[in-house]
Chains A and B, each alone.
Chain A
Amino acid sequence: MREYLVLRVIAKMMIAFMLLFALYVQFHGDFGPGGGFQAGVISAAAIIFYAVIYGLPAARRVVPEWLVETMVGAGVLLYATVGLAGIVLGGNYLDYFVLDSNPVHGQVRGIFWVEAGVFITVSGVMLKIFYLFAGRRRNEGPET
């Protein structure tokens, strides 16, 4: 799709807003609809959009494979670590009340980090799956 000027320009304009919207969904999820799952999918969709318009190598330069694969594991680890932090600070596993001197603030903090972990894993997995499907087409199929 390299020759479609309109698509390329519009895509460039929209991807910034898509990523911004993903961040809004992520951090405003406490007050409106949204959260880690949706934000992860939206940000992955923005990168997939970029890959569809500009080609896979360009997307791989923006978000390299090693970063995606690290994200897949790091999100789950971050989530589990938040749980362990609860134990270390004297509570139960995934108990957020102890994360701050004020229990309500501890809850908010715990939810924030847990959502961040979900965001990282979901966007990592979605991107990785897309890279695999799209990259396979390049290796296997005849040159088109």
Chain B
Amino acid sequence: MTLANHYSYWVIIFLAIAGLYIVIARGNLVKKLVGLSIFQTSVYLLYVAPGKLIGGTAPIVSPQFQVYSNPLPHVLILTAIVVGVATLALGLALVVRLEEAYGSIEEDEILPQDRDA
């Protein structure tokens, strides 16, 4: 259990906290969605990275290869990406409606309007 063995996890964690920070710290709703996307890609890596075997190849069976990387995370993440963009579009649609209703996409401007109303 050396440190180098866990390097891949730390890259994932860096991406995850970068996304988390954007979501918490920034008031702009589009920026928040971008942060969510980054968080999401860190989860893709979290699934796919452990499935990799050094010396393995992509899971397309061929007589020349013996070792394959794990196909199961690929399947899960493949669908997750497409679902992710669909939900991103849903979020953007909500942002557009908010912009029309409040004239702003900044949390700091929307919340006072709600309080005054």
Cβ-defined partner of B89 (8 Å) among A31, A37, A41, A129: A129
Instruction: Report which A residues bind B (CB closer than 8 A).
Output: 31-33, 35, 37, 41, 122, 125-126, 129, 132-133, 136, 140
Cβ-defined partner of B82 (8 Å) among A31, A122, A132: A122
- The chain A residue sitting closest to B86, CB to CB, is A125
Considering the chains assembled together, what is the distance between the CA atoms of A132 and B86 in angstroms? 13
Give the residues in chain A near B89, CB-CB below 8 Å: 129, 133
- Interface footprint category on B: 10 to 19
Contacting pair A33 B58 (CB below 8 A): yes
- The chain A residue sitting closest to B78, CB to CB, is A37
Considering the chains assembled together, what is the distance between the CA atoms of A133 and B90 in angstroms? 11
Cβ-defined partner of A132 (8 Å) among B58, B60, B85, B93: B93
Give the residues in chain A near B60, CB-CB below 8 Å: 31-33
Tell me the interface secondary structure of chain A in the complex.
Answer: helix
Give the residues in chain A near B86, CB-CB below 8 Å: 125, 129
Give the residues in chain A near B79, CB-CB below 8 Å: 37
Interface string of B41-65 (1 = CB under 8 A from A): 0000000000000000010100000
Considering the chains assembled together, what is the distance between the CA atoms of A33 and B59 in angstroms? 9
Considering the chains assembled together, what is the distance between the CA atoms of A75 and B81 in angstroms? 18
Give the residues in chain B near A35, CB-CB below 8 Å: 78
Give the residues in chain B near A126, CB-CB below 8 Å: 85
10 smallest beta-carbon distances between A and B, as pairs: A129-B89, A37-B82, A122-B82, A37-B78, A125-B86, A32-B60, A37-B79, A41-B82, A136-B96, A31-B60
